[in-house]
Structure 1
């Protein structure tokens, strides 16, 4: 994430990371970008919430209705 931000000259507060794993959430939070966590992968809502987010919820959480 840091490399992508540096190469694109993107501003972290104006950048959004969309991910479906705890590693995605952690990478976004570590670089100061907004995070949209989606439950389309193998990670549950609880796993995504436990991934080190600053509050009880990521910035956004989209759940896949099966």
Structure 2
């Protein structure tokens, strides 16, 4: 909800930081043989103090490779 509630106020640098982490997290999943399958804002948790993200809800995920 952090991104949804603050999307109009977030600085470009913060958005870039979050997006890079989302992409890196998705790549890390793939590197470990898992496709998340449902990356969207509701499946990204943000620690507001550190701006670190976590991908959640792997219900649509699949093993690959």
Q: Tell me if both proteins adopt one fold, taking TM over 0.5 as the criterion.
A: no
Larger radius of gyration: 2
Ranked by relative contact order (alpha carbons within 8 Å, sequence separation 6 or more), the top structure is 2
Q: TM-score, normalised by structure 2?
A: 0.24
Q: TM-score, normalised by structure 1?
A: 0.24
Greater helix content = 2
